[in-house]
Chain A
């Protein structure tokens, strides 16, 4: 007997199929690297001046969801730099200063960092951030992360 379980029944459906882009929210406009550059520079200068609270707050506000992968990567590198420059003793304080939406974004960058070679070099620091975040707000940001289709 033919293995009917493996038949792609969508192929026989004349109506449009569900494409991956259908599930991504419609952002309207796309942010480009040149538009994002001032924010990246500001983030770098805040991080180098040692004002980590402001740096992380800026990094986790309005992340470039609508940008292409390359732009997202450039922004991610700047965020990772800021995350790596924060002293472990300051992390809890910084996490406390973030609001709910910012914490959701922070967890996205932590996971993104863990999945990329650049971030793996900072693995210990990312884990420390993760620990501080879960101690502050439990599993909430993680549940949000799992179900959120806006990627950084």
Chain B
């Protein structure tokens, strides 16, 4: 086994759909059920300490993000978003954001400058929200066309104008989220993506055909990585070129992060992160982290099923589950020798935990098993 797992925290019983760290990585926010829990990090050796519970939502909280100023935004299936302003005594003051949508909010992301955020929703709308001083109110502006279905994921370019979205209609689209008075034209001068960026205009679209699960900008390269439900990782550029790589194990990825300019980390239903790298302009599989191949190989050898059984030829087909039930049946317990990956269920979100000069050295993940895992790359 490799030593890629730095720490593993079992925080809640339910699935964690989204997690996020503050800019200095001292605060961890996770979503679980209708609540958002705020933890203080205590280093890799002791579990994070629960600090505050944010519980204004009355339906499942789908996403959380923390701005560079420490403001937290949560969005939920109750069609609302809240901005949580940190107060000096450590508590948070909630402000309701009227998104004006009639379906669940599914994804939220702060713009890099921390003065606006975008919310994706099942109502085929991306709401870009910003604070209006005169009214003391968060205003939301809608991007509607030509979105045909639920938005799953959002990512801002570092210029704070270009917004990449991915959804269940199978399109990865780049929109302009330019807000007058908040953004300046200088941010997008000489952008290779276009000349003019009026709010809500469609800059590019890439057709993938299957659900887009996650998108992520690499702003300095002007490239976008996205993963789809067909098990592919794709890298798109402003000229409209797309490079596609298949997951070696076939199962789709739910989340993607750029590690450096020539490597991308993906994770999803295989429960461990997978690294892809670019060599001579071609993207390809590089290595697995925390993969449990040893455990699987051992369990096959120790199984007394006939060798010509189809499943031995393809060990990924549920053999570990079969062994587990067989042992439970015979001995009443599962032998400890089976090594399992750090995550026991699908990984749904990867975040950068440690980064130096544009190179990521540590990432964190959250999964449907209610765990947060830190990985060394």
Give A contacts to B, CB under 8 Å: 9, 13, 18, 22-23, 25, 100, 131, 134-135, 137-140, 142-144, 146-150
Query: Is there contact, CB below 8 Å, between B149 and A142?
Result: no
Residues in A with CB closer than 8 Å to B274 are none
Q: Mark B247-282, 1 if CB is under 8 A from A, else 0.
A: 101111000000000000000000000000000000
CB <8 Å contact, B209 and A147: yes
CB pair A149–B246 under 8 Å, yes or no, is no
CA distance A135 to B249 in the complex (A): 13
Q: Smallest CB–CB gap between B210 and chain A, Å?
A: 3
Contacts of B252 in A (CB 8 A): 143, 147
Q: B211 at the A/B interface (Cβ < 8 Å)?
A: yes
- From B12-20, B80-88, B223-231, B330-338, give the one contacting chain A: B223-231
Q: A18-B149, A147-B228, A148-B230 are in contact. Are A25 and B207 (CB under 8 A)?
A: yes
Q: Is B310 an interface residue (CB 8 A)?
A: yes
A-contact 0/1 string along B205-234, CB 8 Å cutoff: 001011100000000000000001111000
Question: Which residues of the other chain, B, contact A140 by a CB distance below 8 angstroms?
Answer: 231, 246-247, 250
Complex formed: what's the CA distance from A150 to B207 in Å?
A: 12
User: Which 8 A-B residue pairings sit nearest by Cβ, starting from the closest?
Assistant: A147-B210, A139-B250, A140-B250, A147-B230, A143-B231, A147-B229, A138-B250, A144-B230
Q: Are A100 and B246 in contact (CB under 8 A)?
A: yes
State the total of A-B contacts with C-beta under 8 angstroms.
Answer: 58
Contact A139 B251 (CB under 8 A): yes
Residue among B149, B209, B310, B314 making CB contact with A25, cutoff 8 Å: B209
- In which size bucket is the chain B interface? 20 to 34
State how many angstroms separate the Cβ of B106 from the closest Cβ of chain A.
15
User: Whose C-beta in chain B lies nearest to the C-beta of A104?
Assistant: B230
Interface centre among B169, B230, B249 (most CB of A within 10 A): B230
Interface status of B361 (Cβ within 8 A of chain A): no
Measured between alpha carbons, how far is A140 from B252 in the docked complex, in Å?
9
B249-A138 in contact (CB<8A): yes
Q: Are A143 and B250 in contact (CB under 8 A)?
A: yes
CB-based contact A9/B102 at 8 Å: yes
Most chain B beta carbons < 10 A, residue from A134, A137, A147: A147
In the complex, chain B residues 172-213 whose Cβ is within 8 Å of any chain A Cβ: 207, 209-211
Q: Is the CB of A139 within 8 A of B211?
A: no
Chain B residue at minimal CB-CB distance from A144: B230
- Give the residues in chain A near B102, CB-CB below 8 Å: 9, 13
Of B229, B230, B249, B314, the residue contacting A134 (CB under 8 A) is B314
B321 on interface, CB distance cutoff 8 Å: no
Hey, which chain A residues are within 8 Å of B251, CB to CB?
139, 143
Instruction: Take A23-B149, A143-B230 as given contacts and tell me if A138 and B170 are in contact as well, using a CB distance cutoff of 8 Å.
Output: no
Residues of chain A within 8 A (CB-CB) of B316 are 138-139
Give bound CA distance, A27 to B247, whole Å.
27
